[in-house]
Amino acid sequence: MQPTGHRLRDVEHHPLLAENDSYDSASSSSSEADAVDRVWFIRDSCGMVCAVMTWLLVVYADFVVTFVMLLPSKDFWYSVVNGVVFNCLAVLALSSHLRTMLTDPGAVPKGNATKEYMEGLQLKPGEVIYKCPKCCCIKPERAHHCSICKRCIRKMDHHCPWVNNCVGEKNQRFFVLFTMYIALASVHALVLCGLQFISCVRGQWTECSDFSPPITVILLVFLCLEGLLFFTFTAVMFGTQIHSICNDETEIERLKSEKPTWERRLRWEGMKSVFGGPPSLLWMNPFVGFRFRRLQAWPKKGGSEFSV
């Protein structure tokens, strides 16, 4: 754009705003500021189904562990200790899942690619800025457009249907915690299943469960399969996320082999940036920074997100 003294680079050569666009920068800025008090949620049918399935599978695992294995046990402290540990892991995992799903991953405000906005950026002559032709926004460095969220996301790693959200700059921490707690709960469930099978075989399936032997076997086998699948998936995701954080490189940047134009953080600096502050037990707490937000519908032109 010659009048503003800098260049707008747009891959699809779209104008800043079409003549028939009715974008109001003042109303948009107030809406974006108001969005801070609202909960982010993506209306994607596949993502919502996957999120509900995740919760149901965790609840199923908790049911089998509690009512099939622990309550019928004659060892009181064995039941209490394992019940408390498993349920704590389940609560932390589901809380991390909610925080990942309902946290804005770092969405760039829509429709801010206006002449007024660019003039306010005070860019140097000849400086190149990038505009997303899909959501009509000025694209920050390392931001990518998500076709499901229909927004540009800062430091977008990937879109995960199991949390019905993108994993980006603002919610990566909760996604890492979710994968970690699910992996730990899966290992715990597998160990309990192994001990339960041994106990049932030794007792000839007479007093090992309040359910009949065939039902008990079916429930335990399904839980073992679920635990193996969940552990494999979440352990791999946890490892790749930690690797990405330590290398200061998102999964999209790695797959696209993008050359870093930013100054990469050292490993611990990257961890501090994602988890916040120096290493402490607060890193493991998905409730840090949580506050109740108001429930209100958020109609947004051309978007798939709304507030609940």
Which residues carry out catalysis? 160
- Give CA–CA dist 132/120, Å, rounded: 19
Residue tagged 């589901």 (tokens): 94
Written as six digits, the tokens of 200 are 């049932």
For the chain, the C-alpha Rg in angstroms (whole number) is 24
Q: Which residues contact 264 (CB under 8 A, 6 or more apart)?
A: 247, 248, 249
- Give CA–CA dist 284/54, Å, rounded: 21
Q: Which residues contact 166 (CB under 8 A, 6 or more apart)?
A: 105, 146, 148, 149, 153, 156, 157, 158, 159, 160
CA-angle at 93, arms to 106 and 289, nearest 5°: 45
- Give CA–CA dist 107/143, Å, rounded: 9
